A = this chain, B = another copy of it.
Amino acid sequence: MAYHHGDLRRTLLAAAADAIAESGAAAVSLRELARRAGVSNAAPTHHFGDKAGLLTALAAEGYGLLADTVTGARLSGGGIVEMGVAYVRFALEHPGHFEVMFHPALHRTDDEELRAARTRAAGALAAGVGERHRGDAEDGGAELAAVAAWSLVHGYATLVLSGAVHPDDPQGQTRAIARLLFPEGTAR
């Protein structure tokens, strides 16, 4: 093996995401990740500084992926319901990222890359709700609907990931509960 791993940063992030998805963030050790990647225990430090740095990078990557996923659903014209389905799909496909994203205690909240990625994701989510509530922007109805929609899909994803709910068809059930909140919400 070459002295330079060549793609260590990416490898470590992927291994961390897998390990967190399996065993939780607490069970992940930098040394174990380094071992799997075939490098010494101090190699990750160079790329991420410390453990919080690695998890921060993972969270930032997650927000980027989430923004892409949700924006993709919006551009496909599915309306707010399909954006919600996309949100849940992201969470279930990237449980390791999702786990870290919403636990500020695990990462450096002042990280610039993280802030940027989160802002981009927030914009992607807001775009969907904004399209539906052009009229009642002033009375706070749009913001309230946004919080409700976000809570619904975020909570559903969390409950499924935690094992509290075991759906046969997560995407179908997401669609069903989203329609309870937005009965007319198939298109905008």
Q: CB-CB < 8 A to A104: which residues of B?
A: 162-163
Report Cα–Cα, A147/B173, bound state, in Å: 9
Which candidate, A4-12, A31-39, A41-49, A174-182, is the interface stretch facing chain B? A174-182
The answer to whether A159 touches B151, judged by C-beta atoms less than 8 angstroms apart, is: yes
Q: Would you call A187 an interface residue if the criterion is a C-beta within 8 Å of the partner chain's C-beta atoms?
A: no
Partner of A155, one of B23, B27, B151, B176: B151
Interface of A is mostly: helix
Chain A interface residue number, banded:
20 to 34
Cβ-defined partner of A180 (8 Å) among B145, B150, B155: B145
A181 to B26, CA, bound (A): 36
A156 within 8 A of B: yes
- A105 touching B23 by the CB < 8 A rule? yes
How many angstroms from the CA of A153 to the CA of B148 in the assembled complex? 9
Are B155 and A105 within 8 A (Cβ)? Answer: no
B155 to A150, Cβ gap below 8 A?
A: yes
Copies of this protein in the assembly total 2
Q: A46 to nearest B CB, angstroms? A: 23
Bound form: Cα–Cα A158–B160 in Å: 14
> If the complex has contacts A26-B26, A150-B155, A150-B159, are A176 and B103 also in contact, measured as CB distance less than 8 A?
no
Q: Does A185 contact B (CB under 8 A)?
A: no
Taking the closest CB of chain B, its distance from the CB of A6, in whole angstroms, is 30
Residues of A near any B CB (own CB < 8 A): 23-27, 102-106, 109, 144-145, 147-148, 150-159, 162-165, 173, 176-177, 180-181
Please list 22 pairs of residues, one from A and one from B, whose beta carbons are closer than 8 Å in the complex, sorted by A's number. Answer: A23-B105, A24-B103, A24-B105, A26-B106, A102-B158, A102-B159, A102-B162, A104-B162, A104-B163, A144-B173, A145-B180, A147-B156, A147-B159, A147-B177, A148-B177, A148-B180, A151-B156, A151-B159, A152-B155, A155-B155, A155-B158, A181-B181
